[in-house]
Amino acid sequence: MLKTQNCGELRPAHAGQEVLMAGWVFRRRDQGGLIFIDLRDRWGITQVVVNQETSPDAHRVADSLRNEYVVQVRGLVRQRPEGTANSELETGDIEVVASEITLLNASKTPPFYINQDTKIDEVARMKYRYLDLRRPKMQENIILRHRVVKGMRDYLDKLDFVEIETPILFKTTPEGARDFLVPSRLMPGNFYALPQSPQQLKQLLMVAGYERYFQIARCFRDEDLRGDRQPEFTQLDLEMSFVQREDIITLIEGLMIYLTEQVLGKTPMFKPFPRIKYIDAMEMYGSDKPDLRYELAAVDITDLAAASGFQVFKSSAAAGKPVKAFRAPGMALRSGTALRKLMDDLETLARANGAKGLAWLGMPETEGGELKGPVGKFFGAEQLAELFQRTEAKPGDLLLFITDERETVYRIVDVLRRTIAHELGLDDPEKLAFGWIIDFPMFYWNEEEQRWDPSQHMFTMPLPEDLPLLDTDPGAARGSQYDLALNGYEVAGGSIRIHDRAVQEKMFPLIGQSLERAREQFGHMLEAFEYGVPPHGGVAVGVDRLVMLYAQEPNIREVIAFPKTQAGADIMAHAPSPAEPKQLEELGIAVVYKEDEKE
């Protein structure tokens, strides 16, 4: 072995021991006769002291070292002299007095500082990802990810789940996002698809009788990217037989509490997690993944608005559009100039999200004082009293009013809520607020295609009491699905599945597929459903997104070892890249460029 100790494990109890260590030069400080080297490996940092008088050969090597050189150090552990301990290092009470130093490998000057926590250009980080991954923060994130995944496996193993791998090469089927296609050389003109999720396969494992399955699954979706999405991602995929919705919610809630407390060392804000119906989440928070770290919620005041003297409100109410009031605690206490700037900024934000304007009212600093803003004069005294009661407005609070088409109102409420919470410092990343969203609509109407689109996927069972609505009023049916929100992100989602072939076949005409086409696409599923299918359900937990929130990072790229850029590119390996002509010929593929893609 080139090392007997890791750089993060030495303590005063090791004083007097000779050790052999190896790692990277994290920092080097030359004080003439003494050279100090901070030696780094995956486990931490140890200070090495090289004395020219006692170890001239080691000092000569140390003099030539630079950051990121790989070295081996032999030396004696000693407690640091009084007053020189470093409380910021776990090894800060000791140092290693080097007797020998061996240069194992030199390094070019890195394109960015690895030993400083400074902002680094994103392109440079992605191009030199292997260097970026050396930085302590990135190593913390990747090791946290490992611990989270291990915690998932440990928890489920104790509950008698079986981990089963499912194929990466599978059949292309319509499941929402675009598939990544893989051409078959042996069957020209035919294609595999990389799985968007193991949805069909895990249901077939329930048909196969495994009852409790999971895997840490790689999934692939060819869709536009954003901060919490990647073209390839990882999820905890899980399915259970002979269960109802409550069984799976209880299981996942227990898992999340276990991971948060035992792996992360924190406590969720709520135990048990709150349950919120989809329609209530949208009406109060404008989102089906609300951030529950703060109480801010919109209140419906359509009836008060209809009776007010404000024509915009009256017209909206008459047209059946909702009018919402939103309370921003204490924000009316700002000075006149600051308040005007705040309102200008909020109105600009609201307009960018589809609003035609943003009305507001500022509560006085003391009871009985004069209201601020243009809206108060349009309400009578009794209406104002009712408005203040519903919104729970207090002196110094700011009330914002939103009205438009319902979907637009939801969007504006969501963005205002997040913005105001951030402005008030209510979105503390140290807090972890889980919450279940239930009773989703089964379908959304697709006006362009004139069909129903599943809100989750076509294998979701309606709530038992809503099953007859598939024949009479599909838009009113609710699905037996459940999403888990954490700090404004969806971190898990699942449903009880359809296990009856007759019910499954009802789904296809609703979503615009003929039974003949459905049998071509899903014949393997429909046939399997004729061989004794247990009631079953499952869930998928987004590993990348969960770890991102645990690590308090703004982007899932920070918790993935080798991610793609926002454009879906790997600029380190220059992927995607053109294939060799011979490869395309073997596959029977001709590349056809669009007019604007030609060089």
The pair of three-digit structure tokens given for residue 4, joined into one six-digit string: 């007997």
The pLDDT of 236-242, averaged and rounded, is 98
- Please give the pLDDT value at position 147: 98
Q: Is the pLDDT of residue 598 over 70?
A: no
DSSP 262: I
Q: Is the pLDDT of residue 148 over 80?
A: yes
The pair of three-digit structure tokens given for residue 393, joined into one six-digit string: 């407005």
User: HEC states along 165-218?
Assistant: CCCCCECCCCECEECCEEECCCCCCCEEECCCCCHHHHHHHHHCCCCEEEEEEE
Q: What is the largest CA-CA distance in the chain?
A: 92
Q: Is the pLDDT of residue 193 over 80?
A: yes
Q: Is the pLDDT of residue 535 over 60?
A: yes
Q: Is the pLDDT of residue 567 over 90?
A: no
Q: Each residue of 84-108: pLDDT tens digit?
A: 999 999 999 999 999 999 999 999 9
Confidence of residue 53 (pLDDT cuts 50, 70, 90): very high
Q: Looking at 353-487, which runs of residues are DSSP E strands? A: 359-362, 398-403, 434-438, 443-446, 451-454, 481-486
Q: Is the pLDDT of residue 269 over 60?
A: yes
- Please give the pLDDT value at position 327: 95
Cβ atoms of 149 and 543 closer than 8 Å? yes
Please state, in angstroms and rounded to a whole number, the distance separating the CA atoms of residues 549 and 122: 20
Enumerate domains of the chain plus CATH numbers.
Answer: 12-105 (2.40.50.140), 294-427 (3.30.1360.30)
Query: To 10 degrees, what angle do helices 136-158 and 245-258 make?
Result: 140
Residue with the two structure tokens 């039974």: 515
Confidence of residue 237 (pLDDT cuts 50, 70, 90): very high
Confidence of residue 176 (pLDDT cuts 50, 70, 90): low
Q: Is the pLDDT of residue 487 over 70?
A: yes
Look at residue 496 and give its three-state secondary structure: strand
- Please give the pLDDT value at position 597: 61
Please name which of 167, 248, 177 lies closest in space to residue 205, comparing C-alpha atoms. 167
Q: How many CB atoms lie within 10 A of CB 28?
A: 19
The pair of three-digit structure tokens given for residue 394, joined into one six-digit string: 């207090």
Q: What percentage of the chain has pLDDT greater than the value 90?
A: 81
Q: Each residue of 357-406: pLDDT tens digit?
A: 999 999 988 877 889 988 888 998 899 999 999 999 999 999 999 999 99
Across the beta sheet with 298-300, the strand order is 298-300, 323-328, 398-403, 359-362
Cβ atoms of 381 and 389 closer than 8 Å? no
